[in-house]
Amino acid sequence: MLVPAPVLQLPVDAPTLDRLHGDACINCGTEDGPLLPAGHAYTTDGEGQLGWPVAACPDHREARP
């Protein structure tokens, strides 16, 4: 089951940026295997929230029928 991602304050480190860009699982950080769409994570830039379309590995993605 997907775990909601926390709201993050910018700037973030490189591994977190990989997760926000969908290049790594938003939950565990793996870059292996198929990464599937997993909703959005949000960061704040001090003036508002920015939405990022994130991905998750099969272990962290809800099963789809």
Task: Pick the more confident residue, 28 or 6.
Answer: 28
Residue among 41, 39, 33, 34 at smallest CA distance from 16: 41
- The answer to whether residues 28 and 45 touch, using CB atoms and an 8 Å cutoff, is no
Res. 42 pLDDT band, cuts 50 70 90: confident
Res. 3 pLDDT band, cuts 50 70 90: low
User: Domain containing 37: what range?
Assistant: 8-60
Residue among 16, 8, 30 at smallest CA distance from 56: 30
- Could you please report the per-residue DSSP string of 2-45? PPPPPPEESS--HHHHHHHTTSSBTTT---SS--EEEEEEEEE-
- The verdict on residue 40 lying in a domain is yes
Predicted structure pTM score:
0.74
Q: Count how many domains the chain has.
A: 1
- The verdict on residue 53 lying in a domain is yes
- The verdict on residue 3 lying in a domain is no
- The answer to whether residues 31 and 23 touch, using CB atoms and an 8 Å cutoff, is yes
